[in-house]
Amino acid sequence: MKTSVPSITLNDGHTIPQLGFGVFKVEPTETKRIVSDALRVGYRHLDTAAIYGNEQGVGDAIATSGIDRGELYVTTKLWNARQGDALDAFDESLEKLGLDYVDLYLIHWPAPANGRFVDAWKSLEKIRESGRARSIGVSNFEEAHLQRLLAETEVVPAVNQIELHPAHQQQKVTEFARRKGIAIEAWGPLGQGKYPLFEETVVAVAAEAHDKTPAQVVIRWHLQTGNIVFPKSNSRERMAENFDVLDFALSDSEVAAISGLERSGRMGGHPNDVN
Protein backbone atom coordinates (compact mmCIF):
# COMPACT_ATOMS: atom_id res chain seq x y z
CA MET A 1 0.00 0.00 0.00
CA LYS A 2 1.32 3.42 -0.97
CA THR A 3 2.07 5.44 2.16
CA SER A 4 2.91 8.86 0.69
CA VAL A 5 0.22 11.55 0.49
CA PRO A 6 -1.49 11.33 -2.92
CA SER A 7 -1.64 14.44 -5.08
CA ILE A 8 -4.19 15.76 -7.55
CA THR A 9 -3.20 17.64 -10.69
CA LEU A 10 -5.21 20.83 -11.00
CA ASN A 11 -6.54 22.30 -14.23
CA ASP A 12 -3.59 24.72 -14.39
CA GLY A 13 -1.03 21.91 -14.27
CA HIS A 14 0.03 22.43 -10.64
CA THR A 15 -0.34 19.59 -8.17
CA ILE A 16 -1.90 19.74 -4.72
CA PRO A 17 -1.49 17.24 -1.84
CA GLN A 18 -4.83 15.58 -1.25
CA LEU A 19 -4.41 15.53 2.55
CA GLY A 20 -3.61 18.71 4.44
CA PHE A 21 -4.00 20.51 7.76
CA GLY A 22 -6.56 23.26 8.40
CA VAL A 23 -6.36 26.02 11.03
CA PHE A 24 -9.98 27.22 11.19
CA LYS A 25 -10.71 28.42 14.74
CA VAL A 26 -7.10 27.89 15.84
CA GLU A 27 -6.25 30.69 18.28
CA PRO A 28 -3.62 33.06 16.86
CA THR A 29 -1.49 32.70 20.00
CA GLU A 30 -1.46 28.91 19.62
CA THR A 31 -1.09 28.73 15.84
CA LYS A 32 2.71 28.58 15.63
CA ARG A 33 2.86 25.67 18.08
CA ILE A 34 -0.02 23.77 16.50
CA VAL A 35 1.17 24.19 12.92
CA SER A 36 4.71 23.28 13.98
CA ASP A 37 3.32 20.05 15.45
CA ALA A 38 1.43 19.36 12.21
CA LEU A 39 4.60 19.83 10.16
CA ARG A 40 6.48 17.45 12.47
CA VAL A 41 3.74 14.85 12.02
CA GLY A 42 4.27 15.07 8.27
CA TYR A 43 1.67 17.47 6.90
CA ARG A 44 2.95 19.63 4.05
CA HIS A 45 -0.33 21.22 2.95
CA LEU A 46 -1.57 24.09 5.15
CA ASP A 47 -4.93 25.84 4.75
CA THR A 48 -5.57 29.22 6.42
CA ALA A 49 -7.56 32.40 5.68
CA ALA A 50 -7.36 36.10 6.40
CA ILE A 51 -10.52 36.00 8.53
CA TYR A 52 -9.02 33.31 10.79
CA GLY A 53 -6.57 35.89 12.14
CA ASN A 54 -3.76 33.34 12.28
CA GLU A 55 -1.80 33.80 9.05
CA GLN A 56 1.08 35.25 11.05
CA GLY A 57 1.29 32.13 13.21
CA VAL A 58 1.24 29.89 10.16
CA GLY A 59 4.05 31.93 8.66
CA ASP A 60 6.07 31.79 11.88
CA ALA A 61 5.75 28.01 11.99
CA ILE A 62 6.89 27.73 8.38
CA ALA A 63 9.83 30.07 9.00
CA THR A 64 11.13 28.04 11.93
CA SER A 65 10.38 24.59 10.50
CA GLY A 66 13.54 24.18 8.47
CA ILE A 67 11.40 22.74 5.67
CA ASP A 68 12.18 23.92 2.17
CA ARG A 69 9.43 26.20 0.83
CA GLY A 70 9.13 24.07 -2.27
CA GLU A 71 7.99 21.12 -0.13
CA LEU A 72 5.04 23.06 1.30
CA TYR A 73 1.63 23.86 -0.12
CA VAL A 74 0.06 26.97 1.43
CA THR A 75 -3.48 28.25 0.89
CA THR A 76 -5.09 31.43 2.17
CA LYS A 77 -8.34 33.19 1.36
CA LEU A 78 -9.80 36.60 0.54
CA TRP A 79 -12.44 37.73 3.03
CA ASN A 80 -15.82 38.99 1.85
CA ALA A 81 -15.37 42.59 3.00
CA ARG A 82 -12.18 42.87 0.96
CA GLN A 83 -13.57 41.76 -2.40
CA GLY A 84 -13.40 45.38 -3.55
CA ASP A 85 -9.68 45.69 -2.81
CA ALA A 86 -8.44 42.16 -3.31
CA LEU A 87 -4.97 43.19 -4.46
CA ASP A 88 -4.26 45.04 -1.21
CA ALA A 89 -5.84 42.26 0.86
CA PHE A 90 -3.60 39.71 -0.84
CA ASP A 91 -0.50 41.82 -0.14
CA GLU A 92 -1.46 41.93 3.55
CA SER A 93 -1.93 38.15 3.70
CA LEU A 94 1.40 37.53 1.99
CA GLU A 95 3.17 39.85 4.43
CA LYS A 96 1.61 38.14 7.46
CA LEU A 97 2.61 34.74 6.10
CA GLY A 98 6.12 36.00 5.41
CA LEU A 99 6.09 34.36 1.99
CA ASP A 100 6.94 35.43 -1.55
CA TYR A 101 4.01 33.48 -2.93
CA VAL A 102 1.15 31.19 -1.92
CA ASP A 103 0.28 28.01 -3.75
CA LEU A 104 -3.44 28.71 -3.75
CA TYR A 105 -5.53 31.84 -3.15
CA LEU A 106 -9.30 31.53 -2.78
CA ILE A 107 -12.31 33.82 -2.69
CA HIS A 108 -13.66 32.73 0.70
CA TRP A 109 -17.40 33.14 0.00
CA PRO A 110 -19.29 34.45 -3.02
CA ALA A 111 -21.21 36.91 -0.81
CA PRO A 112 -23.65 37.50 -3.71
CA ALA A 113 -25.51 40.30 -1.95
CA ASN A 114 -22.34 42.39 -2.22
CA GLY A 115 -22.18 41.89 -5.98
CA ARG A 116 -18.38 41.89 -6.10
CA PHE A 117 -17.17 38.33 -6.54
CA VAL A 118 -16.68 38.62 -10.30
CA ASP A 119 -14.52 41.74 -9.91
CA ALA A 120 -12.65 40.03 -7.09
CA TRP A 121 -11.97 37.07 -9.37
CA LYS A 122 -10.52 39.38 -12.02
CA SER A 123 -8.12 40.66 -9.35
CA LEU A 124 -7.16 37.08 -8.51
CA GLU A 125 -6.43 36.52 -12.20
CA LYS A 126 -3.93 39.40 -12.00
CA ILE A 127 -2.38 37.91 -8.87
CA ARG A 128 -1.94 34.59 -10.64
CA GLU A 129 -0.36 36.34 -13.62
CA SER A 130 2.16 37.95 -11.24
CA GLY A 131 3.22 34.51 -9.98
CA ARG A 132 2.49 35.40 -6.37
CA ALA A 133 -0.30 32.83 -6.30
CA ARG A 134 0.46 29.69 -8.25
CA SER A 135 -3.22 28.72 -8.45
CA ILE A 136 -6.47 30.53 -7.75
CA GLY A 137 -9.84 29.18 -6.76
CA VAL A 138 -13.04 29.75 -4.85
CA SER A 139 -14.73 28.55 -1.71
CA ASN A 140 -18.39 27.97 -0.92
CA PHE A 141 -19.49 28.66 -4.51
CA GLU A 142 -22.76 27.19 -5.72
CA GLU A 143 -23.28 26.13 -9.34
CA ALA A 144 -24.86 29.48 -10.25
CA HIS A 145 -21.86 31.39 -8.90
CA LEU A 146 -19.46 29.16 -10.82
CA GLN A 147 -21.49 29.55 -14.02
CA ARG A 148 -21.28 33.33 -13.74
CA LEU A 149 -17.51 33.24 -13.26
CA LEU A 150 -17.07 30.94 -16.23
CA ALA A 151 -19.22 33.22 -18.39
CA GLU A 152 -17.65 36.54 -17.40
CA THR A 153 -13.97 35.83 -16.70
CA GLU A 154 -10.98 34.14 -18.32
CA VAL A 155 -9.58 31.66 -15.79
CA VAL A 156 -11.45 28.57 -14.63
CA PRO A 157 -11.06 28.17 -10.84
CA ALA A 158 -8.61 25.44 -9.91
CA VAL A 159 -10.63 24.38 -6.87
CA ASN A 160 -13.91 24.95 -5.06
CA GLN A 161 -13.64 24.46 -1.31
CA ILE A 162 -17.05 23.57 0.11
CA GLU A 163 -18.65 22.05 3.19
CA LEU A 164 -18.56 18.34 2.44
CA HIS A 165 -18.97 15.31 4.69
CA PRO A 166 -20.99 12.10 4.45
CA ALA A 167 -24.28 13.72 5.46
CA HIS A 168 -23.82 16.66 3.07
CA GLN A 169 -21.99 15.75 -0.12
CA GLN A 170 -23.24 18.59 -2.35
CA GLN A 171 -23.52 16.31 -5.34
CA LYS A 172 -24.96 18.92 -7.72
CA VAL A 173 -22.16 21.45 -7.34
CA THR A 174 -19.54 18.73 -7.03
CA GLU A 175 -20.57 17.07 -10.28
CA PHE A 176 -20.77 20.42 -12.08
CA ALA A 177 -17.33 21.46 -10.83
CA ARG A 178 -15.69 18.22 -11.83
CA ARG A 179 -17.21 18.43 -15.31
CA LYS A 180 -15.50 21.80 -15.64
CA GLY A 181 -12.18 20.51 -14.31
CA ILE A 182 -12.53 22.18 -10.90
CA ALA A 183 -11.18 20.08 -8.03
CA ILE A 184 -13.23 19.76 -4.84
CA GLU A 185 -11.85 20.53 -1.40
CA ALA A 186 -13.86 19.49 1.66
CA TRP A 187 -14.13 21.69 4.71
CA GLY A 188 -15.76 20.29 7.84
CA PRO A 189 -14.87 16.84 6.49
CA LEU A 190 -15.83 15.06 9.71
CA GLY A 191 -19.07 16.98 10.21
CA GLN A 192 -17.53 19.30 12.82
CA GLY A 193 -18.86 17.03 15.57
CA LYS A 194 -22.36 18.35 14.94
CA TYR A 195 -23.94 14.96 14.31
CA PRO A 196 -23.02 11.41 15.42
CA LEU A 197 -21.15 10.49 12.24
CA PHE A 198 -18.76 8.15 14.02
CA GLU A 199 -21.66 6.18 15.49
CA GLU A 200 -23.11 5.38 12.06
CA THR A 201 -23.09 1.61 11.66
CA VAL A 202 -21.38 1.63 8.25
CA VAL A 203 -18.57 3.81 9.59
CA ALA A 204 -18.12 1.78 12.77
CA VAL A 205 -18.12 -1.54 10.91
CA ALA A 206 -15.51 -0.31 8.42
CA ALA A 207 -13.36 1.02 11.27
CA GLU A 208 -13.43 -2.36 13.00
CA ALA A 209 -12.70 -4.20 9.76
CA HIS A 210 -9.57 -2.17 9.08
CA ASP A 211 -8.46 -1.69 12.70
CA LYS A 212 -8.81 2.06 12.28
CA THR A 213 -10.82 4.77 14.03
CA PRO A 214 -14.09 6.07 12.59
CA ALA A 215 -12.38 9.40 11.85
CA GLN A 216 -9.67 7.65 9.86
CA VAL A 217 -12.32 5.77 7.89
CA VAL A 218 -14.14 8.99 6.97
CA ILE A 219 -10.91 10.73 5.92
CA ARG A 220 -10.07 7.69 3.81
CA TRP A 221 -13.54 7.90 2.24
CA HIS A 222 -12.79 11.49 1.22
CA LEU A 223 -9.49 10.51 -0.35
CA GLN A 224 -10.99 7.63 -2.29
CA THR A 225 -13.88 9.74 -3.59
CA GLY A 226 -11.43 12.30 -4.93
CA ASN A 227 -11.80 15.10 -2.38
CA ILE A 228 -8.93 17.22 -1.11
CA VAL A 229 -9.31 17.21 2.65
CA PHE A 230 -7.70 18.95 5.61
CA PRO A 231 -8.96 17.89 9.04
CA LYS A 232 -7.93 20.11 11.93
CA SER A 233 -6.96 19.33 15.49
CA ASN A 234 -5.08 21.09 18.28
CA SER A 235 -3.82 17.74 19.57
CA ARG A 236 -0.63 16.32 18.09
CA GLU A 237 -1.88 12.81 18.83
CA ARG A 238 -5.07 13.44 16.86
CA MET A 239 -3.12 15.11 14.06
CA ALA A 240 -1.03 11.96 13.75
CA GLU A 241 -4.15 9.80 13.79
CA ASN A 242 -5.74 11.86 11.01
CA PHE A 243 -2.55 11.53 8.96
CA ASP A 244 -2.35 7.76 9.45
CA VAL A 245 -4.81 6.95 6.67
CA LEU A 246 -2.46 6.02 3.86
CA ASP A 247 -1.82 2.36 4.67
CA PHE A 248 -5.29 0.95 4.01
CA ALA A 249 -8.11 1.21 1.48
CA LEU A 250 -11.86 0.95 1.83
CA SER A 251 -13.63 -1.52 -0.43
CA ASP A 252 -16.00 -0.24 -3.10
CA SER A 253 -18.92 -1.42 -1.00
CA GLU A 254 -17.63 0.41 2.08
CA VAL A 255 -17.21 3.62 0.09
CA ALA A 256 -20.72 3.25 -1.31
CA ALA A 257 -22.19 2.58 2.14
CA ILE A 258 -20.64 5.75 3.58
CA SER A 259 -21.78 7.73 0.52
CA GLY A 260 -25.26 6.41 1.34
CA LEU A 261 -25.32 8.57 4.47
CA GLU A 262 -26.20 11.64 2.37
CA ARG A 263 -29.18 13.56 3.75
CA SER A 264 -28.51 17.19 2.75
CA GLY A 265 -27.34 17.83 6.27
CA ARG A 266 -25.64 21.21 5.97
CA MET A 267 -23.95 22.22 9.23
CA GLY A 268 -22.60 25.66 8.21
CA GLY A 269 -24.08 28.75 6.59
CA HIS A 270 -25.59 28.72 3.12
CA PRO A 271 -23.40 30.52 0.56
CA ASN A 272 -26.22 32.86 -0.43
CA ASP A 273 -26.65 34.00 3.17
CA VAL A 274 -23.04 34.68 4.21
CA ASN A 275 -21.99 38.24 3.46
What are the catalytic residues? 52
SS3 186: strand
SS3 101: coil
CA atoms within 13 A on the CB side of 13: 0
CA atoms within 13 A on the CB side of 118: 13
Closest Cα partner for 81 from 109, 102, 53? Answer: 109
**Pairwise CA distance, residues 169 & 226, whole Å:** 12
Q: Which residues pair with 16 in a beta bridge?
A: 8
Give the chain's length.
275
**Pairwise CA distance, residues 45 & 38, whole Å:** 10
Contacts of 13 (CB under 8 A, 6+ apart): none
φ and ψ at residue 40, rounded to 5 degrees? -70, -35
Q: Which residues pair with 105 in a beta bridge?
A: 76, 136
Contacts of 26 (CB under 8 A, 6+ apart): 34, 35, 52, 54, 57, 232, 234
